[in-house]
Amino acid sequence: MLIPHDTRKALDVVVDLVNTAPESEPHDRLADVEALSAFARIHDVSDVGTLGEADLRAVRAVRARFADVFAAPDAQAAAELINRLVAAAGTTPRLTNHDGFDWHVHYFAPGASMADHLAADCGMALAFIVTSGEQERLRRCEAPDCRHAFVDLSRNRSRRYCDSRTCGNRLHVAAYRARRKEASG
């Protein structure tokens, strides 16, 4: 599956955003405006200006709607959620070539809030996945103690664990140890 650079970057941002929620972590990683500002810096979210409490509340609401997309049972449900997100953001597609990146499309209007920026750009990246017939690639880690979201970009759609932790390795080692213990019995 060939994914343009800007779409891939937006997918990385939406995954990281969803994974800041308390459902994925022991605590909310967007606990305050400072954490939101750090998130914007880390992900090079451009044109967001000075962030405040209203931005934090709005981004948390967008984060919850993105989490719903990852939990959608099928493409139809995902599409409806994405359509609402993108429409509410008031998308304004425009070509840009900033910060050393080649030409790409931004979907947020100039001066948009951070929440609208994320809803538009990340929503369109998720729309790319759904329109490609690949909605099942939007997943949650299958490790029992992990709920991280991820986009399975493996060739055969076989990834089961997130890569932000060593979930797969931990489970394989635990299964190996259990088999050895049972065999030595």
Instruction: Output the pLDDT for position 108.
Output: 86
Q: What is the pTM assigned to this prediction?
A: 0.86
CA angle 60, 90, 99 (to 5 degrees): 80
**Structure tokens that stand for 107 in this block:** 């979907």
State residue 43 phi and psi, 5-degree precision: -100, 10
Query: What confidence score (pLDDT) does residue 172 get?
Result: 66
pLDDT of residue 109: 83
Distance set, CA 113 to CA 15, 48, 66, 95 (Å): 19, 6, 17, 19
Query: Mind listing the pLDDT tens digit of every residue in the chain (185 residues)?
Result: 788 888 999 999 999 999 999 887 778 999 999 999 999 999 988 878 899 999 999 999 999 999 999 999 999 999 999 999 999 998 888 898 877 778 888 888 888 899 999 999 999 999 999 999 999 999 999 888 888 999 999 888 888 888 745 786 666 666 667 777 788 86
Amino acid at 28: D
For position 31, what pLDDT does the model report?
Answer: 95
Which pLDDT score, from 0 to 100, does residue 19 have?
A: 95
